[in-house]
């Protein structure tokens, strides 16, 4: 066995399963339309859209960022093509 596998087994640092209700969402600026931030949110506790006031690097000022409607494709299992 390679050395790094043995270190992972000894230290117990194996990959964990993602059994959480948290989803990855993108935040898009309402003024410039740039998606500059990504964050995770718990869909069980906050079902409505997330809005945060953050720094917009394009406009170089603080503006309101809203959660994008678009799914980022990292959270859902895609159907197998047959």
Whichever domain contains 28, its CATH number is 2.20.28.120
Query: Is residue 81, in this structure, part of any structural domain at all?
Result: no
Query: Is residue 37, in this structure, part of any structural domain at all?
Result: yes
Number of structural domains found in the chain: 1
The region, left, alpha or beta by phi > 0 then psi within -120 to 50, assigned to residue 56 is: beta
Query: Is residue 43, in this structure, part of any structural domain at all?
Result: yes
How far apart are alpha carbons 10 and 4 in whole angstroms? 10
Report pLDDT for 72.
54
Query: Is residue 1, in this structure, part of any structural domain at all?
Result: no
More confident residue, 78 or 62: 62
How far apart are alpha carbons 78 and 65 in whole angstroms? 28
Tokens 């995770």 locate to: 40
Per the structure, the complete domain to which residue 56 belongs is given by: 17-67
Give the pLDDT confidence of 21-62 residue by residue, as tens digits.
888 888 999 998 888 898 888 888 988 999 999 999 999 999
- Whether the CB-CB separation of 27 and 33 falls below 8 Å is answered with no
The answer, as to whether pTM is greater than 0.85, is no
């Amino acid at each position: 066995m390679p050395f790094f596998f043995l270190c992972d087994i000894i230290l117990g640092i194996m990959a964990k399963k993602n059994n959480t209700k948290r989803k990855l969402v993108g935040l898009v600026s309402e003024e410039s339309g740039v998606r500059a931030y990504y964050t995770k949110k718990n869909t069980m506790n906050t079902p409505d859209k997330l809005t945060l006031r953050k720094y917009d690097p394009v406009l170089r000022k603080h503006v309101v960022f809203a959660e994008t409607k678009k799914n980022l494709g990292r959270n859902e299992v895609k159907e197998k093509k047959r």
